[in-house]
Amino acid sequence: MNIFRENDVVLLREGVEAKIITGDEVFIPEGTEGTIVIVHGSADQPSAYEVEFFIPEQNDFALATVDAGLVCKV
């Protein structure tokens, strides 16, 4: 497993549900680029990441908590 830090850009290995700031939910498909904003767990063995995605159709951002194994390098 790769270890990422805040502000790293990653790709999703699987699609996930995310929440737009307004509270609406949106599905983020596999292969979408996102930016890590929070690392959950220890820095040397994170359990999950909070990832921000830009949603062009809505000109907005969405956040998802993503298991550490579901992201990879761009």
Q: pLDDT tens across 41-63, in order? A: 998 999 999 999 999 988 999 99
Q: Is residue 59 part of a domain?
A: yes
Q: Would you say the pTM of this structure is higher than 0.85?
A: yes
**55 falls within a domain:** yes
Q: Is 3 domain-assigned?
A: no
Which amino acid is it at 43?
A
φ/ψ of residue 69, rounded to 5? -80, -5
Which CATH number is 24's domain given?
2.30.30
The total of other beta-carbon atoms located within 10 Å of residue 64's CB is 23
Calculate the average pLDDT of the chain: 95
Q: What is the mean pLDDT of residues 27-31?
A: 96
- HEC profile for 32-68? CEEEEEEEEEECCEEEEEEEEEEECCCCEEEEEEEEH
% residues pLDDT > 90 (the chain)? 89
Domain count across the chain: 1
Task: Check residue 62 and give its pLDDT.
Answer: 97
> Does the pLDDT at position 15 exceed 80?
yes
Phi, psi of 15 (to 5 degrees): -70, 150
